[in-house]
Structure 1
């Protein structure tokens, strides 16, 4: 095999092929998820903060902050999260040429997530209001963060299989 007038040895050809395979695998790994790492971390922190914020809003009396402050925190974090979601979706579309779609994910995973996660996050606030124990909020925050990480890893695995 001759390239630009240079004769490659079989070892050099194999090394070039191995390098090409390494570059291809790296590119596939980088495109394995639509979420940039910064957005995955943002999403996980947002989910972890929701039970605490809901608990502050649902508390019978002021808990840590006055209720209007909790509402302001909720509105501000939701607005920031929405803006960052738009940036992440645009980044995905620019990188792949395909709009970010959630309807292609397996229903056996997304339906329980869409029902269970809101129930967990909001239910913990009601349990906190009834019992006055913040352990409900902390447990819901930790479970929500774990679900976010687990869903992200499952989505990465699913996406890698399709690439």
Structure 2
């Protein structure tokens, strides 16, 4: 039998070019997975989130109004429960569909803390405080300003996520 003869079915070690190509492909796949996990939600859910945070200050302010303001208090309470329930259901749907589509869960922990901490503190204040200010002053402009500010914050956050996704891709 000859030495160095090729045997069918035996593993031949990859050439150095093949090994480099395989490592490059593995790095590309790793970067792709990182990019997918850095994208926290689908675009339709970003739209739903923006609509929810824009409506919340107005509905919450209507619930806190001293007297009947545009609608009875029960209607405001019902509206608040309905929009919150719809938002939570769509949140679950978005998470499940995103996980099925990408193989990764919706995540916020991959985002820089310098962006998420101020939003985690500021967003609840923007959602709730204007309702109390409206109750004290009777000026609905506070609710409108909070609605615009929360919608802008939501859109800005989504744009930042998209940029992070593109940067990681």
TM-score w.r.t. structure 2 length?
0.75
Matching residue within 136, 149, 167 for 1:130: 136
Query: Per the alignment, in what secondary structure is the counterpart of residue 65 of structure 1?
Result: coil
User: Which structure ranks higher in relative contact order (CA pairs < 8 Å, sequence separation ≥ 6)?
Assistant: 2
CA distance in 2, matches of 1:30, 1:103: 13
CA distance in 1, matches of 2:67, 2:126: 22
CA distance in 1, matches of 2:38, 2:108: 15
CA distance in 1, matches of 2:135, 2:36: 43
> Quick check: 1:95 aligned with 2:101?
yes
> Quick check: 1:43 aligned with 2:49?
yes
After the TM superposition, which of the residue ranges 137-146 and 33-42 deviates more from structure 2?
Answer: 33-42
8 Å CA contact 1:32, 1:160 repeated in 2:
no
The equivalent residue for 2:119 is: 113
> Quick check: 1:147 aligned with 2:153?
yes
Query: Per the alignment, in what secondary structure is the counterpart of residue 80 of structure 2?
Result: helix
Measured at CA, do residues 100 and 30 of structure 1 come closer, stay the same or move farther in structure 2, by a change above 3 Å?
A: closer
Structure number with larger C-alpha Rg: 2
Task: Structure 2 unaligned segments of length 5 or more: list them.
Answer: 1-34
Aligned residues: 135
TM-score w.r.t. structure 1 length?
0.77
Runs of 4+ in structure 1 off by over 3 angstroms are 29-34
CA distance in 2, matches of 1:72, 1:104: 36
1:2-21 matches, cutoff 5 A: none
8 Å CA contact 1:34, 1:89 repeated in 2:
no
Residue 156 of structure 1: how far off its partner (Å): 0.8
Task: Structure 1 unaligned segments of length 5 or more: list them.
Answer: 1-28
CA distance in 2, matches of 1:100, 1:71: 30
Measured at CA, do residues 31 and 109 of structure 1 come closer, stay the same or move farther in structure 2, by a change above 3 Å?
A: closer
Query: Per the alignment, in what secondary structure is the counterpart of residue 84 of structure 2?
Result: helix
